[in-house]
Amino acid sequence: MSELLAAVDCGTNSVRLLICRVVSDGTVVEVDRRLHLTRLGQGVDATGAFHPDALARTLAAMGDFGDQLDALGVVRRRVIATSAARDAANSAEFFAGVRTRLGVEAEIISGAEEARLSYGGAVQALPALEQPVLVMDIGGGSTELVLGLDGVPQHSISLDVGSVRVRERFLHSDPPTDTEVAAASAHINQLLDDSGIDFAAVASWVGVGGTATSLSALVQGMSHYDRDAVHGSRLARDELFAFTAELLAIPVEQVAAYPTMMPQRADVICAGGLVCELVGKRFELPLIVSEADILDGLIAGLARPVSQL
């Protein structure tokens, strides 16, 4: 006997679905994984509200997810919403739309909970990490940092810097000017200085989410996206920093021409790369990229009661 579980993560730039099957011995097997880049957080930093077009794109994606879950007969579902939904004043329409399309309430989780779930999803999928481990999730609206030891989070924080937020607030030109990059860097560095994370203690640096996985594919020069090659990849600091400098120096049209670059991410990957670089400059470590992230953490939570029967 087995049960299907589904987790949906609605972020500032993307909405993602993971469906897994839990078999009788408690083993979790992936059934389907889907992604839509809908830019729900479009303009939220400036206006404090969802743009109608962004909301329409996001709810259309939720409709696609709902159709798939209904077709498979998935009963146990959890939907979380993160940075953009925390910030938007007109979130009632979003919640009503999710309820209609997925049949469950979307939960706005705290930044601390988001960090905990990302950490749990990442570290369980990467063997033999040197301790302590810093897990970094650069989203569209926020960046989650969690420092943990032997699988247990010790300190976490959600910073209001993400690829969409940094691009919209600071990097107005195409490509960004040196002055814009300097202003963005100063802002990000101040938040990192005040984060309370003991960067000197970090022994392993793990990146999850779309920014980290996209950077891995780009740095590796992939002709097509290979999830297996991305997961567990180690990006040397110098190589990562050099590629970030390139992304900041070329127009979006050229960024979009990379074979693995999704068009909807092309304009913000340079901002995400900048956040990644400024975190990485705080220690002498490669970036280890994990394909397992907050969705895997959500599924683990849903599966736990089943596995303990």
Residue 69: inside a domain, yes or no? yes
* HSE-up (13 A, CA, CB side) for residue 291: 13
- Under the banding of pLDDT at 50, 70 and 90, the label for residue 155 is very high
Please provide the average confidence, as pLDDT, over all residues in the chain.
92
Burial of 139: CB neighbours in 10 Å, binned 0-12, 13-18, 19+: buried
- pTM of the predicted model, to two decimals? 0.89
Residue 114: inside a domain, yes or no? no
Token pair of 115 as six digits: 């960090």
pLDDT digits (tens, 9 = 90+) for 191-241: 999 999 999 999 999 999 999 999 999 999 999 999 999 999 999 999 999
Radius of gyration for the alpha carbons in the chain, expressed in angstroms and rounded: 19
Inform me whether the pLDDT recorded for 308 exceeds 60: no
Residue 306: inside a domain, yes or no? no
As a whole number, mean pLDDT of residues 21-35 equals 89
Inform me whether the pLDDT recorded for 82 exceeds 90: no
Residue 225 maps to which CATH number? Answer: 3.30.420.150
**pLDDT exceeding 70 applies to what percent of the chain?**
97
What one-letter code names the amino acid at 139? G
What pLDDT score does 176 carry?
Answer: 98
Please identify, among 84, 109, 134, the residue that sits at the C-terminal boundary of a domain.
Answer: 109
Pick the residue with more confidence: 87 or 99?
A: 99
**Domain check: are 23 and 171 in the same one?**
no
What pLDDT score does 290 carry?
Answer: 96
Please identify, among 109, 133, 162, the residue that sits at the C-terminal boundary of a domain.
Answer: 109
As a whole number, mean pLDDT of residues 171-195 equals 98
What pLDDT score does 201 carry?
Answer: 97
Residue 51: inside a domain, yes or no? yes
**Domain check: are 149 and 281 in the same one?**
yes
**Domain check: are 282 and 140 in the same one?**
yes
Give me the domain span that covers residue 80.
3-109
As a whole number, mean pLDDT of residues 60-79 equals 96
What pLDDT score does 1 carry?
Answer: 52
**Domain check: are 208 and 261 in the same one?**
yes
What pLDDT score does 83 carry?
Answer: 62
**Domain check: are 27 and 166 in the same one?**
no
Strand order in the sheet with 106-108: 28-37, 14-22, 3-10, 76-81, 106-108
Please identify, among 83, 109, 135, the residue that sits at the C-terminal boundary of a domain.
Answer: 109
**Domain check: are 251 and 223 in the same one?**
yes
Residue 156: inside a domain, yes or no? yes
Residue 309: inside a domain, yes or no? no
Residue 95 maps to which CATH number? Answer: 3.30.420.40
- Under the banding of pLDDT at 50, 70 and 90, the label for residue 307 is very low
Q: What is the tally of structural domains in the chain? A: 2
**Domain check: are 181 and 158 in the same one?**
yes
